[in-house]
Amino acid sequence: MHSRRCIDAYFSPKMVTALSDTETQQRIPSTINSFSQSYKYSAKIQEEDGLHREASSCQENNSRKKSWGGITCCVPLCYNDSKRNKTLKCYVIPKDLALRKKWLAMISRKNFVPSASHRVCSAHFEGGKKTYLNNVPTIVPKTVKPTINKPRSTRNSATTPRDPAVMEWRTSNCCAYEIEGISTEQQFESRVEQLTEIQKLTMEFEHKEKQLQEENSRLQQVINDNKFSIDRFKHNQAQFKFYTGFDSYDLFRSVLDFLEPAASSLIYWDSTANIENKSKPSCLKRGPQRRLTAEEEFFLLLVRLRNAFPIQDLSIRFRISTSPVSRILITWIDFLHAQFRKLPIWASKQTVQQTIPQSFQKLYPNTRVTLDCTEIFIEMPTSYRSQSVTFSSYKHHNTAKGLIGIAPSGAITFVSDLYAGRFSDRKITAHSGIYNLLEEGDSIMADRGFELDDDLPKGVTLNIPPFLDGRKQFNLTDEIQTRHIASVRVHVERAIERVKNYKILQTVFELSMAPDLNKISITCCYLVNFFPQLVRK
């Protein structure tokens, strides 16, 4: 049929009628044979072409299948997928609400709403696979922080300046090279103009940046000037002395340098640090993280002792909470008490003789120490027995009492622990241990309340003002002796006044501060020794 249609198409009706029967009979068979062969050839070509297309389609599908990636784990910082690791198993996030909540909590992705395609790989399960009992991924990084979604940067957005002036310049000039018909010289001149404009804008930007930096420095200086810190007062001698008691910042720095090696490894009070790990080299700083430097903490303590500012006030001044302030104060009081108690402040006889003032050298050359007691007010204890023991009939208040001894030069050479206010001066002196420090030939100067004649070691004398012994008035000799002793004994009262200038000792100590009362008193006495000499030679 197809051959016949081809013949009909090849020979038109007019041509067929025009041919004779003989010619038709001769030409038709040959034509049919030729068209039959050409049809078979075209059909074969079409069949081969169809097979070739099917083969190429299969190859393309196979290549696409091969190029597909595997299943990726949805846990942050995990890059496992089933394509690179054939042994890896991926598990669907469960639909059970309780179990699903545990999975999402361990995955730790912010605003994460899992879909049906999200998977968790077996690397996050104990043993490398999920089981009936081990059905929660526990091996996940917990330090993952959600990242802020940023728009994808492009070549134009990365190189486009943000300044409005530069944006306007780019809008008007960026297409200069896209104009057809422009000459090379004109392009070069346009390029030079653009570079000149860029240099001009760069200079303007640098000038603005320099101005902003200067303004920032000026504002930072204003903040530092208004901030309550040691940098604000160290150049003002009067203010620095008011807050710390030291005459200068250099003296403050010298004391801190003496304390610095040990101050760098403080274990703060109420710290959970393990003291056994102190010798480990990896344990450089124990306890809570330090909010202030060692210099600032020492300054904070001195401000507290010198001015008796409340904890709340100090927290506002130093811009930290009240809990760190309390920890710093308690830690530094313990630290200074331990460090100062190691210092041998008891002066040798040779040192006393080399520094003795003329007022002592003329009248009392053998004086080794001048003694007196001082009292600190405390809150009334809750126990009746403690109330009775601490009540001072002299101060008419509950007090704590301590013994202080100074050398003739005015330096504090002896500080006792505190005792209950009811204790007598004689009992405190005998119990303080000062008799063990005295040598034969020494002389003690004190007030009338120190009746120590029966308690003194052998070879030690006592100089106190004389008593009336029932007389109406002193005779001339006793009066002169009383005046001479008072003129030199006044220096111990001046030394105690220096100690009491630390206003924290002028307050009424609460019962909660009882454990630190003795340490605070001793620390203030030792700090006074860093002041200028009390009695000039």
Q: What CATH code is carried by the domain that includes residue 387?
A: 3.30.420
CA 265 to chain centre: 16
120 and 18 belong to one structural domain: no
Residues in the chain: 537
**End position of a domain, from candidates 14, 41, 65:** 65
Looking at the fold, whether 87 and 125 belong to one and the same domain comes out as yes
Give residue-wise pLDDT tens across range 258-308.
998 888 778 888 755 444 444 444 444 455 567 888 999 999 999 999 999
Residue 46 has pLDDT above 60, yes or no: no
pLDDT digits 0-9 by tens, 202-250: 999 999 999 999 999 888 888 777 788 898 899 999 999 999 999 999 9
Is 494:372 a contact under the CB 8 Å cutoff? no
284 within a domain of the structure (yes/no): yes
Distance CA 380, CA 435 (A): 32
pTM for this entry: 0.59
Note whether residue 139 is domain-resident: yes
**Strand 119-121 to strand 391-392: parallel, antiparallel, or no bridges (unpaired)?**
unpaired
Residues 441, 523, single domain; the answer is yes
Whether 469 and 522 share a structural domain: yes
Domain residues for 474? Answer: 349-528
- Domain identity same for 76 and 55: no
Has residue 153 been placed in a domain? no
Predicted confidence (pLDDT) at residue 28 exceeds the cutoff of 50: no
Q: Which residue has the tokens 């009909």?
A: 8
- Average pLDDT over the chain reads 80
Residue linked to tokens 């940023």: 150
* Alpha-carbon span 223 to 240, nearest angstrom: 19
Residue of 109, 112, 110, 106 lying closest to 140 (CA atoms): 106
134: confidence class by pLDDT, cuts 50, 70, 90:
confident
pLDDT for residue 346: 94
Percent of the chain with pLDDT over 70: 76
Look at 105-109, 251-255, 401-405 and tell me which has the smallest mean pLDDT: 105-109
Tell whether 403 and 450 lie within a shared domain. Answer: yes
Task: Average the pLDDT over 465-479 and give the result.
Answer: 85
Confidence label for 82 from pLDDT (cuts 50, 70 and 90): confident
pLDDT at 526: 96
Residues 399 and 504 reside in one and the same domain = yes
**HEC string for 513-532:** HHHHHHHHHHHHHHHHCCCC
Q: Which two tokens stand for residue 413?
A: 């050479």
151 lies in some domain: no
Q: Which of 86-95, 286-295, 363-372, 502-511 has the lowest mean pLDDT?
A: 286-295
- How many structural domains is the chain composed of? 5
Assign 3-state DSSP to the chain and report helix, strand, coil percentages, each to 5: 55, 10, 35
Q: Which of 49, 65, 81 is the last residue of a domain?
A: 65
How do beta strands 443-445 and 461-463 pair?
parallel
Q: Could you tell me the pLDDT band of residue 72, with boundaries at 50, 70 and 90?
A: confident
Query: Please, are residues 314 and 325 in contact by the beta-carbon 8 Å criterion?
Result: yes
> Looking at the structure, do residues 363 and 424 belong to the same domain, yes or no?
yes
Are residues 358 and 481 located together in one domain of the fold?
Answer: yes
pLDDT value at residue 55? 47
Mean pLDDT of 124-136: 86
CA atoms lying within 13 Å on the CB side of residue 346: 12
- Confidence band (pLDDT; 50, 70, 90) for 180? very low
Name the one residue in this structure whose structure tokens are 């903490």.
Answer: 297
Percent of the chain predicted with pLDDT > 90: 43
**Where is average pLDDT lowest: 97-111, 370-384, 505-519?**
97-111
Average of pLDDT values for 361-372?
Answer: 91
pLDDT band at 161 (very low <50, low <70, confident <90, very high): very low
Does residue 155 fall inside a structural domain?
A: no
Residues of 21-33 as b/e, b for ≥16 C-beta within 10 angstroms?
eeeeeeeeeeeee
Q: Select the more confidently predicted residue: 471 or 172.
A: 471
Within-domain flag for 533? no
Structure token pair of residue 206? 């640098």
When pLDDT is cut at 50, 70 and 90, the band that residue 44 belongs to is low
Which pLDDT does position 78 carry in this prediction? Answer: 87
Query: What pLDDT score does 22 carry?
Result: 45
CA–CA dist 185, 121 (Å, integer): 64
- The Cβ of residue 186 has, within 10 Å, a number of other Cβ atoms equal to 12
DSSP assignments along 390-426, one per residue: HEETTTTEEEEEEEEEE-TTS-EEEEPPPEETTS-HH
Q: What pLDDT shows up at residue 424?
A: 92
Query: In this structure, is residue 30 part of a structural domain?
Result: yes
Residues 45 and 118 in one domain: no
500: Cβ–Cβ under 8 A, 6 or more apart, which residues?
374, 506
Query: What is the mean predicted confidence (pLDDT) over 66-73?
Result: 69
Residue 280 and residue 358 in one domain: no
pLDDT band at 146 (very low <50, low <70, confident <90, very high): very low
pLDDT score for 315 = 93
Residue 42, domain member (yes or no): yes
Long-range pairs of 423-429 with CB within 8 A, sequence gap ≥ 24: 424/449, 425/373, 425/449, 425/450, 426/450, 426/451, 426/452, 426/455, 428/373, 428/401, 428/402, 428/403, 429/371, 429/403, 429/455
Is 313 exposed, middle or buried, given 0-12, 13-18 or 19+ CB atoms closer than 10 A?
middle
Element (H, E) at 53: helix 21-67
pLDDT in the model for residue 32: 43
DSSP string across 178-239: GSTT--HHHHHHHHHHHHHHHHHHHHHHHHHHHHHHHHHHHHHHHHHHHS-SHHHHTT-HHH
For strands 419-420 and 412-415, give the pairing. Answer: unpaired
- Confirm if 208 and 492 have CB atoms less than 8 A apart: no
Query: What pLDDT is attached to residue 262?
Result: 85
Residue type, 476: L
Judge if 397 and 520 occupy the same domain: yes
Q: Any idea which of 42-56, 104-118, 182-196, 436-450 has the lowest mean pLDDT?
A: 42-56
